[in-house]
Amino acid sequence: MKESVASTVVFILLLFLNTGLLNGQSPPGKPVISKCRSPEKETFTCWWKPGEDGGLPTKYTLTYHKEGETTTHECPDYITSGPNSCYFNKKHTSIWTMYIITINATNEMGSSSSDPRYVDVTYIVEPDPPVNLTLELKQPEDKKTYLWIKWYPPTLVDVRSGWLTLQYEIRLKPEKATEWETHFAGQQTQFKILSLYPGQKYLVQVRCKPDHGFWSEWSPKRSIQIPNGSPLVLGASHHNSLADNPRKILSQRSLQPTVFTSTKPITAQW
């Protein structure tokens, strides 16, 4: 009797599977974790790309466990960071801790799982771009005109306490130029440009990078018109509290060379 019932169940399951396959339905394809990012080393988000849905409604869940633990948890927030994402707030984020993360896809025909992603929040920091980029032409008495560039760190990043240290890079170009001229600014949030062509409209952007992690996107472009008149002196320098330490500055310059697109010879002044 038991063997007959078991055979009947198997037959029904096979019939259901074959019917689904004939209708073009199948288990879901394998999802892929595309990116995990923390903007400030206090929260983070992981995004995934779904596989084929098999022609059926498919449910996706993110599960994770921390290295050394046996308890598996589900994503705490599928809403905040948008579709196909999981957001971990401060309560669910720990630094110097390895998260093992998997995406699971399930429909009526079966299930599949992504390859696991190993995430340490300390090493996935990609800050937002710097904010409040301002450009100002200055001409001190009896001195050459220069462009003064200032900005602020990303709003979410706590730099005052030293929780996160940021370095900055600036790029600028004449509006119609195709290539950018870049300058490494270290940890400073202001920069002086002494090399510009009169009569040109310049575009300027800034980005930032933590000690461990990745460069942010470039900030929105800001522009400034350089008036015609007496030529600006060639060169570039930034306001740096380390200016009296030439070895440290030389080290910065060797690691982050300045790239120039101008056909004029340009000499950096530190």
Same domain, 183 and 227: yes
Which of 88, 123, 158 terminates a domain? The answer is 123
Is 269 a member of any domain? no
Q: How many domains does the chain have?
A: 2
What is the gyration radius of the CA atoms in the chain, in angstroms? 28
Contact 43, 36 (CB under 8 A): no
Same domain, 146 and 32: no
| pLDDT tens figures, 79-90 | 999 999 999 999
Q: Residue 2 contacts by C-beta under 8 Å, 6 or more apart in sequence?
A: none
Same domain, 157 and 223: yes
Same domain, 149 and 167: yes
Highest mean pLDDT out of 7-11, 30-34, 193-197: 30-34
Instruction: Report the b/e string of 98-136 with b at 16+ CB within 10 A.
Output: ebebbbbbbbebeebebeebebbbbebbbbbbbeebebe
The answer to whether the pTM exceeds 0.85 is no
Specify the range with the lowest mean pLDDT, choosing from 70-74, 91-95, 117-121, 241-245. Answer: 241-245
Query: What are the distances in angstroms from CA 15 to CA 21, 25, 55, 235, 254?
Result: 10, 13, 18, 78, 69
- Nearest-5° Cα angle at 26, 22 to 32: 155
Average pLDDT taken over every residue of the chain: 82
Same domain, 136 and 86: no
Model pLDDT, residue 141: 76
Same domain, 172 and 92: no
Is 261 a member of any domain? no
Is 69 a member of any domain? yes
CATH number (domain holding residue 58): 2.60.40.10
Same domain, 99 and 156: no
Contact 233, 203 (CB under 8 A): no
The helix, strand and coil proportions of the chain, stated in percent and rounded to the nearest 5, come to 15, 35, 50
Same domain, 138 and 239: yes
Same domain, 102 and 189: no
Domain range for 225 is 131-255
